[in-house]
């Protein structure tokens, strides 16, 4: 068995990842480790934030006495990149509407979507291209005696191309889903629902790369 700590408190993510990676993994989330350090997501890239979250835990864990062993940390960061806005909201996706407040808090999805529509008000359909991006950072937890030096982190990047609609549509999902029309569909992620989204989403694609690595090297309780 391979024990993985997910750097999230989101139980929905645990289920999604567990379903994709298979039964040879046992997952914990930060809900089971309330003393884990908080990481400030202030990097200027998804890879930077995911790496920062993974590194923080890889360095903290060897000094803890745990009920269950942890072999790997899996952290993720994701968001929306809109071409007409030079890649914004990007790493600021969760707090787009309140980005000028500098209080670090996230904004309600409705406010983020309203701001996006306002900024794109004069942008025609063919220039409203965008993508969701997800970067996963997988860190190996070394025993305390071997935890000196730079920890080993592997990154996996998944994208889902599409465009931003002129008004929100659909009831499913979260975040920018009501405005995002994935390429090849005339309906938003919020209309298409979880079954379709989980096949083509940025997160599913990043996880698929990770799954391929796991399938190659998971003998002896190790991914690499």
What number of CA atoms fall less than 13 Å from residue 206's CA on the CB side? 27
Candidate residues 72, 78, 151, 192; the one interacting with ligand IMP per rule CB under 6 A? 78
Q: Does 158 bind ligand IMP (CB under 6 A)?
A: no
**Strands ordered across the beta sheet of 153-164:** 25-29, 2-6, 72-82, 129-140, 153-164, 180-182
Q: Which two tokens stand for residue 50?
A: 């995911």
107 is a site residue for ligand IMP (CB under 6 A): no
Q: Does 81 bind ligand IMP (CB under 6 A)?
A: no
Residue with tokens 């931003």: 164
Catalytic residue selected from 76, 77, 165, 177? 77
Interacting residue with ligand IMP among 177, 192, 214, 223 (CB under 6 A): 177
Residue 77 annotated to the active site: yes
Nearer to ligand IMP, 56 or 173 (CB): 173
Residue nearest to ligand IMP (CB): 175
Instruction: Note whether 165 binds ligand IMP by CB under 6 A.
Output: no
CA angle 132, 196, 207 (to 5 degrees): 55
Is 11:29 a contact under the CB 8 Å cutoff?
A: yes
The beta-strand segments (E) located in the chain are 2-6, 25-29, 72-82, 129-140, 153-164, 180-182
Query: In the window 199-218, what residues touch ligand IMP (CB under 6 A)?
Result: 201
Q: Which of 56, 139, 168, 175 binds ligand IMP (CB under 6 A)?
A: 175
Strand partners, 161: 131
Nearest to 197 by CA among 154, 158, 157: 158
Which of these segments, 19-27, 71-79, 205-213, 214-222, binds ligand IMP (CB under 6 A)?
71-79
Applying CB under 6 A, which residues contact ligand IMP?
76-80, 93-94, 112, 132, 173-177, 201
Instruction: Cite the active site residues.
Output: 77
């Amino acid at each position: 068995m391979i024990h993985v700590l997910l750097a999230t408190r989101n139980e929905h993510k645990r289920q999604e990842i567990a379903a994709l990676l298979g039964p040879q993994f046992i997952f914990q989330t930060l809900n089971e480790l309330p003393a884990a350090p908080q990481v400030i997501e202030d990097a200027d890239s998804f890879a930077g934030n995911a790496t920062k979250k993974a590194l923080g835990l890889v360095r903290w864990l060897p000094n803890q006495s745990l009920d269950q062993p942890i072999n790997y940390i899996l952290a993720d960061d994701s968001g929306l990149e809109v071409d007409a806005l030079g890649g914004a909201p990007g790493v600021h996706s969760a707090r787009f509407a309140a980005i000028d407040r500098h209080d670090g808090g996230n904004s309600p999805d409705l406010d983020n979507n309203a701001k996006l529509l306002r900024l794109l008000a004069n942008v025609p359909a063919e220039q409203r291209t965008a993508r969701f991006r997800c970067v996963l950072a997988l860190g190996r937890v070394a025993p305390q005696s071997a935890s000196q030096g730079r920890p080993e982190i592997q990154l996996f990047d998944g994208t889902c191309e599409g465009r931003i609609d002129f008004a929100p549509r659909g009831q499913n999902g979260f975040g920018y889903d009501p405005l995002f029309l994935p390429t090849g569909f005339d309906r938003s992620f919020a209309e298409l629902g979880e079954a379709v989204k989980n096949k083509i989403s940025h997160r599913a694609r990043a996880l698929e790369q990770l799954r391929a690595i796991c399938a190659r090297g998971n003998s002896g309780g190790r991914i690499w």
